[in-house]
Structure formats: C-alpha cells, structure tokens
Amino acid sequence: MPLPVPVFSSYGSLTEPTGIDLLMEDLGRAFNNDPQMRMLGGGNPAAIPSVQALWRRRMAELLEDGDSFDRMMVQYDPPGGNPAFLRAMAGLLQQEFGWPITPEHLAITPGGQTAFFHLFNLLAGAGRDGGPARRVLLPIVPEYIGYAAQGLHRSFFVATPPVIEDSPDQNRFRYRIPFDRLPWSEPIGAVCLSRPTNPTGNVVSDSDLGHLIDLTRERGVPLLVDNAYGLPFPGAVFTEAKPLWDEHVILVLSLSKLGLPGTRTGIVVARPEIASAMRRITSVSALANNNVGQTMVLPMIQSGEILKLAKHTIGPFYRDASARAQGWLDEAMRGAGVDYRVHHSDGAFFLWLWLRDLRITTWEFYQRLKERKVLVVPGRFFSFGLDEPWDHPDQCLRISFSQPEQVVREGMRIIAEEAARLSKPRAIPAGNLP
C-alpha cells in the first residue's frame, strides 16, 4: 500500500510551482544538460575574464596562506556575518556615502533573495495583534520575479500599474512610479523597490526615490531597496544615480553580480533593530552564513578597491554590453519589420522588450523560443500584487545580455524572426506610441 503523501501546513504555499521555480529549473537544467541553449533567461552574471581572474588569484592567496583557507572552511562565523567583514563594510559605506553605518547596522544573509524572504515575512503578513494582515507595496511593477511567491500570507503584495512614459528615443519607453495612484489605503508593512529594477533595467531617479523615501518616512513604513545590481557595488548602473539611505530604509546588497553568485552572500544595511532581527533569524533558520563570499572580497572591501572594480570594470562592462545588445536588438527587430519597444536600459543586465502586436502571450512565445533554443523570461511572472487584470506584461519579456556576444546576437535574431511570424499585421508604421 503506498504511503499517503503528508499534508503540508500553510507553509506549503512555498512549494507551489512558481515563476522563479520555472526560471531556475530551466536555467540550471540548460546550463548543466543543454549547452546548445542560448541563455537569455537567467540572472546569471557574465563571466568577465578580469573579474574571474581576480577571484582565482584571491583564492590562490588564501590557499598559500593556508590558515585563512582552513578558517574559511572549518569555522562557523557568528550568524550576522564575519566581524572583520562587517567592520570593513561599515567603514566603506561611511566613507563613500557619509552614512552613519556601524557593524550593528549590518547583517549577512545566504544571498539577497533570502534577505527579502525574511524581511518581507517579518514586516508584512498577519500580526500577533490579530489586526489585518499587512501587505508589501511595490511602487513600480513589473518587479523582480523572485519576490512573487515569498509571502507566507495570501494577497501579500499590492501594486498599481506604472505610468508608461514615451521616450524621445525611437523604440524606447520608461515606467515611472504612479505616485498619484499608490494604494496607501491598504495596510502596508513595507515598500519594496529594486534599483536598478529587475526585469526592466530601470533606475528610478534620485528625485523619485527621494520622494518615495519621504512618503514612507511620513508613514513610518520601512522602504526596502534591492541593490543587487546597484551602487556602490556591483555597480551595473549606466545613468547618474546615487544610492540613498535613511533610518527607515533597508538596503540589501549582494556579492552575486560581482561574479560570486555561487557563494550566496547578501548584505542587509538597516537600523540596528532590523539588522539585529535579521541576525537572529539567520541563527534560527540557518545557524550561520557561508564564509566563502565574505572571505573572498574582504581585502577589497577593506582597501576600497571594490569601488574601483565596480566603477572601472563591472559598470563599463555591462554598460557596453547593454549598448551593443540594444544595437543588435534594434537591428534584428527593424530588419524583421516588427513593432517593438525596449525599456530604457539604465542598469542591470536585461533588456525589457515590449511587443504590442504579438498574437500570442509572451508566455506562449517563451515556449516557442525554447523550442528554438532561446531561453527568455515571459513578462507575466514579473507582474504581481495587482488587484485588477493588466494585459501589458503578457506583451513583454526579459532578455538577459550577460552571455557572450554570439549567444545574445543569435538569440535576438531568433526572437525577431519569431516575433515577426507571430505578430498581427499593423497598418500604422511602427514609430512612437499612439
């Protein structure tokens, strides 16, 4: 007699198939089993030769020293992170931005994604006071796919469609925060924004961010800023923008886009009460963090070299990659005669493509492309928290340009070919938005 499958508790909501799950499984499977697949789907950073060489040299150094290597492998650090790393990180943020950050403002987590999982569920959801469950307000959607399933409570996120702003540049557009329509009437536990935004490559302007900081401060609501691609590192930002921090802002940095995603290292910068809560959550849920990422970058944080790496290597690498990728995409789309828009690429390493005339949803389009060995991410997975239906994301998809030229270029050619084949004929010539 087969055993019955155990009944899951409400925590089982985390086991339901999700967009991020699909993305990661496809990504991982293709990397490991299907070398022909053109990986324009995942968030995997580029293999930048000089950066990889840097990490190889650093590891060789640790091995030469011996003790440092052994210590990294054989010792548990405190749950909040390595004390030397925390001191160095606090010093860097103080010096670079003048923020009053001490090690007490910091907590390391097993990757930025894990930081958000805990922060969201800590700040929103059902309270112990029996009041209405608080929600996480996303001031701009589409927003990062990885948040979508993280809430342990139903109707966890809340958002309204963004302002869609036409651009003076041909075939470009931009989303802006719909300040007039933000759903403040809901019970809000936190506000969250990725900057640069994954998936769109948007970098919300300093003045819009400042406005958001004021609005959240007034309401006593924490503002979470996901800095996975931002400043001071990894520095995949191509516009003038500066990071902002305040007592009620929770900034989350990551080592992943420095070429170290395999180490899973996130850094939470927050007022001490929040940082301390995160340290405790790590101790309960994970005992301690992995040490490898922190140990690898420690000397570069101590010396400030990490800022130069971000500014002179990683930033320009992705800026150039974005410019080239936009060129290829424009060329492919125009060549195929497809009506399209691309979100302004201010940072990160994605292009967000809008195909208004597609006869099918980009979810179906994604599957066609996969058959042609091109992996992208369909737009709908980045759209959540909306109480009203919104078709727009089903006309959009995310294309990563972090892979080598040939892969990106061929992928874009195939996307354009398929888009031409699957678009409605359009009487009005493609141009600015109607």
Residues 82-141 that bind a copy of itself (CB under 8 A): 82-84, 110-111, 113-114, 117-118, 121-129, 133-134
Nearest by Cα to 229 from 319, 304, 330 = 319
Between 55 and 363, CB nearer to a copy of itself = 55
* Binding positions for a copy of itself, 27-66, rule CB under 8 A: 27-29, 31-33, 42-45, 47, 52, 55-56, 59-60, 63, 66
Backbone angles phi, psi at 355, to 5 degrees: -115, 90
* Binding positions for a copy of itself, 293-332, rule CB under 8 A: none
Q: Which of 101, 204, 213, 281 binds a copy of itself (CB under 8 A)?
A: 281
337 binds a copy of itself (CB under 8 A): no
376 binds a copy of itself (CB under 8 A): no
Q: Which tokens sit at 319? A: 């800026």
Using an 8 Å Cβ cutoff, are 80 and 272 in contact?
A: no
* Binding positions for a copy of itself, 235-254, rule CB under 8 A: 247-248
7 binds a copy of itself (CB under 8 A): yes
Between 283 and 432, CB nearer to a copy of itself = 283
78 binds a copy of itself (CB under 8 A): yes
Q: Which stretch binds a copy of itself (CB under 8 A): 267-275, 323-331, 338-346, 419-427?
A: 267-275
220 binds a copy of itself (CB under 8 A): yes
285 binds a copy of itself (CB under 8 A): yes
**At 370, which helix (H) or strand (E)?**
helix 362-371
261 binds a copy of itself (CB under 8 A): yes
The least CB distance from residue 75 to a copy of itself, in Å, is 6
The least CB distance from residue 35 to a copy of itself, in Å, is 12
18 binds a copy of itself (CB under 8 A): yes
Using an 8 Å Cβ cutoff, are 332 and 420 in contact?
A: no
187 binds a copy of itself (CB under 8 A): no
Using an 8 Å Cβ cutoff, are 287 and 75 in contact?
A: no
Q: Which stretch binds a copy of itself (CB under 8 A): 149-157, 164-172, 193-201, 367-375?
A: 149-157
Q: Which of 16, 180, 240, 371 binds a copy of itself (CB under 8 A)?
A: 16
Please give the Cα distance from 27 to 39 (Å, whole number): 7
**Radius of gyration of the CA atoms of the chain, in A:** 22
Question: How many residues at the interface with a copy of itself, by CB under 8 A?
Answer: 105
Q: Which stretch binds a copy of itself (CB under 8 A): 192-200, 272-280, 299-307, 323-331?
A: 272-280
CA 125 to chain centre: 22
Q: Which stretch binds a copy of itself (CB under 8 A): 67-75, 236-244, 318-326, 380-388?
A: 67-75
DSSP 301-346: HHHSHHHHIIIIIIHHHHHHHHHHHHHHHHHHHHHHT---EEE---
Q: Which stretch binds a copy of itself (CB under 8 A): 2-10, 204-212, 299-307, 405-413?
A: 2-10
Please give the Cα distance from 395 to 161 (Å, whole number): 14
Upstream peptide bond of 6 is cis (omega within 30 degrees of 0): no
Between 107 and 182, CB nearer to a copy of itself = 107
400 binds a copy of itself (CB under 8 A): no
Q: Where are the beta strands (DSSP E) in 132-265?
A: 135-138, 157-159, 163-166, 172-176, 188-194, 223-226, 249-254
- What's the one-letter identity of residue 57? R
Nearest by Cα to 297 from 267, 270, 318 = 267
Helix, coil or strand: residue 367: helix
The least CB distance from residue 16 to a copy of itself, in Å, is 7
Between 101 and 358, CB nearer to a copy of itself = 101
Between 80 and 379, CB nearer to a copy of itself = 80
CA separation (Å) from 120 to 111, 206, 285? Answer: 15, 24, 15
289 binds a copy of itself (CB under 8 A): yes
CA separation (Å) from 382 to 24, 307, 339? Answer: 14, 30, 22
Q: Which of 171, 291, 326, 395 binds a copy of itself (CB under 8 A)?
A: 291
210 binds a copy of itself (CB under 8 A): no
Please give the Cα distance from 40 to 68 (Å, whole number): 37
The least CB distance from residue 119 to a copy of itself, in Å, is 10
Q: Which tokens sit at 175? A: 């989303």
**At 122, which helix (H) or strand (E)?**
helix 112-123
284 binds a copy of itself (CB under 8 A): yes
Please give the Cα distance from 80 to 278 (Å, whole number): 8
